[in-house]
Each structure stands twice: as C-alpha cells, then as structure tokens.
C-alpha cells in the first residue's frame, strides 16, 4: 500500500526501536522519511545501511537551538514537509539518574527533563513546522503518547524487577494527549493532529514481567512495534482524513479496564 506516495516528513527518535519501525512503515507507504535522532543513534543506524527513501538528521533536540536546527535542515532549502511524528522521549530505558526508580528517589531534574523532551519538544517542533506544514499535501501530525498518558500505572506490575513508571513520564504523556487536542483545534482545518497511546511493547523485559503483563491485558500479550507503526501510518494516511484530535490506544485493550 502506497498511501503516502510523494509525501515527505519527519520522525523524531527515528533510530530508536519503535521510531525505526515507524520510519520503515511510512517509507514502505511511499513517503520520503527524515529520521531525527541523537548523533550516536544516527551513526549506529547508518552503519547498518540506510534504507532507500530514508534520510537522517543528527540532532539533540534538547540542545538550545536544536529544534530550530531541525526545521532549518528539513525546510531551509524551500522543500515541502507533509507530516511530523513526535516519537522521541525519555522512556524506561533512558538511563537518566533519578528517573526510573522508586517515587521518593525521583528527582526534580529528571522530572523536568522528561517534561522537556516528551512534551515541550513536540510543542516546539509543531510551532516551528506549522508554517511549512500549512503548505504541505494533506498535512498531519502524530504524537506518540502511552497508555500511561491515559490511565495510572499499576505499581504491582513491576514488583521484583528494576522497572518502574516515572512520574515525569506519566505527566508528560498525559500532557501530550491534551496538547494533541489543543493543536487539532488550533491548526484545523488545514493540519490534522492525532496521537497514539501504545501499551507496553515486548522486548527483553524479565519473563515474570511479560507474563504478569499478559494476564492484565484483554488480548493476553504485549504489543509489537509493527502494530504501533501501522497505527501511526493509518492516522497519517488518507484513510483517516476526517479524524483529528483523537488519541488511539494501541494497547490490546489495557485501557478498557
Ligand atoms: N517501548 C514501549 O513499551 C512504549 C510504550 C508506550 C509508549 N512508548 C512511546 O514510544 C516512543 C518510542 O519508544 P521506544 O521504546 O522506542 O523509546 P526509546 O527510549 O528506546 O527510543 C527513543 C529514541 O529517542 C531518541 N532520543 C532521546 N533523546 C533524544 C534527544 N534529546 N534528541 C533526539 N532524539 C532523542 C533516542 O536516541 C531513541 O532513538 C516513546 O515516545 C515512548 O514513550 C513506548
């Protein structure tokens, strides 16, 4: 299916585990995709041989001027941009001190940095890309939130593991859901803005965690990256042309309970 043929757009965190699948999915749909990520992540992705139709921009989005730099490098030569996927975030594997740890050990600094990358950077990028997106073809934005932006985490899920859901993660992902509604209203009728809220994606988590998770989700298993990438693709595609301001859980039914 080439539902994005001729379109061009940006995926932040596009070299990460989920971001790379989103880049692949959009590229397979015919889009020219620009993956924005930290220099080390771009180097690692490039060394594997870049897929045709994919370009890379190395940028730390938290550096002063980082968001301006990305917009300049994407649109500076007058090139069109049609979509933006805000996927980069500090997640449970970020390795940031004072973040993935018991609540009373979580630091103000880690909370602030999570809110900055997970919520303020999407705002900064959307604000800067808006004049260019307005001239795009069926322009659309997808923000990547989480089930923990919709419902509270269950601390019992993590017992016996080193895993945790940081307050800064939950608060920033909840903010992203509301920012999506705000932007959808503000940028209509030209730019559609939607959000996906993935459930936990199965990777190398401890087996006790994976098993416990499976018992708590109606579809009985964790998510796969491709399932989230398909939802991002669909929200950007013409099939979702009358959908804006929506947050789509991709969670096996987690948020039904
Ligand atoms: N993994 C899950 O189970 C899960 C569940 C729900 C939602 N999500 C969301 O999906 C998205 C991707 O998740 P993931 O597990 O692939 O995340 P990840 O932490 O593995 O990857 C995030 C990517 O963002 C990049 N990044 C980090 N800081 C950056 C910066 N300052 N500038 C530019 N890029 C930066 C990283 O290099 C990495 O490539 C996140 O928004 C996450 O919150 C993930």
The tens place of each residue's pLDDT in the chain, 257 residues long, gives: 479 999 999 999 999 999 999 999 999 999 999 999 999 999 999 766 667 889 999 999 999 999 999 999 999 988 999 999 999 999 989 999 999 999 999 999 999 999 999 999 999 999 999 999 999 999 999 999 999 999 999 999 999 999 999 999 999 999 999 999 999 999 999 999 999 999 999 999 999 999 999 999 999 999 999 999 999 999 999 999 999 999 999 999 999 99
Give yes or no for a contact between 37 and 62, defined as CB atoms under 8 angstroms apart: no
Q: Where are the domains of the chain?
A: 8-256
Contacts (Cβ under 8 Å, ≥6 apart) of 63: none
Ligand 1: distance of its center to the CA of 68 in Å? 20
Q: Which of 85, 89, 173, when mutated, tests ligand 1's pocket best, judged by the most ligand atoms within 8 Å of its CB?
A: 89
Tally of CB atoms within 10 A around 194: 24
How do residues 173-189 score in pLDDT, each as one tens digit?
Answer: 999 999 999 999 999 99
- Global pTM value: 0.97
How do residues 189-205 score in pLDDT, each as one tens digit?
Answer: 999 999 999 999 999 99
Q: Whose CA is nearest to atom 14 of ligand 1?
A: 18
Which CATH topology does 8-256 take? Answer: Rossmann fold (3.40.50)
User: Rg of the chain's alpha carbons, rounded to an integer?
Assistant: 18
Ligand 1 closest atom vs CA 228 = 10
Ligand 1 closest atom vs CA 173 = 43
Ligand 1: distance of its center to the CA of 219 in Å? 24
């Amino acid at each position: 299916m080439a539902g994005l043929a001729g379109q061009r757009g940006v995926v932040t965190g596009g070299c990460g585990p989920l971001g790379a699948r989103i880049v692949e999915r959009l590229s397979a749909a015919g889009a020219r995709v620009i993956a924005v990520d930290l220099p080390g992540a771009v180097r690692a992705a490039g060394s594997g041989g870049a897929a045709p139709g994919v370009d890379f921009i190395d940028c730390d989005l938290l550096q002063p001027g980082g968001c301006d730099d990305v917009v300049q490098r994407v649109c500076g030569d007058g090139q069109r941009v049609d979509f933006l996927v805000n996927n980069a975030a500090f997640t449970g594997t970020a390795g940031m001190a004072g973040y993935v740890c018991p609540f009373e050990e979580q630091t103000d600094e880690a909370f602030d940095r999570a809110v900055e990358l997970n919520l303020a950077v999407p705002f900064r990028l959307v604000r800067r890309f808006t004049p260019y997106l307005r001239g795009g073809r069926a322009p659309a934005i997808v923000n990547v939130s989480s089930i923990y932006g919709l419902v509270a985490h269950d601390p019992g899920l993590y017992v016996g593991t080193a895993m945790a859901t940081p307050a800064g993660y939950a608060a920033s992902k909840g903010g992203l859901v509301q920012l999506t509604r705000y932007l959808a209203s503000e940028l209509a009728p030209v730019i559609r803005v939607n959000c996906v809220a993935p459930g936990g994606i199965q990777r190398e988590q401890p087996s006790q965690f994976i098993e416990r998770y499976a018992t708590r989700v109606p579809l009985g298993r964790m998510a796969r990256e491709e399932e989230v990438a398909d939802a991002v693709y669909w929200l950007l595609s013409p099939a979702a042309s009358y959908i804006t301001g929506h947050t789509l859980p991709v969670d096996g039914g987690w948020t039904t309970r």
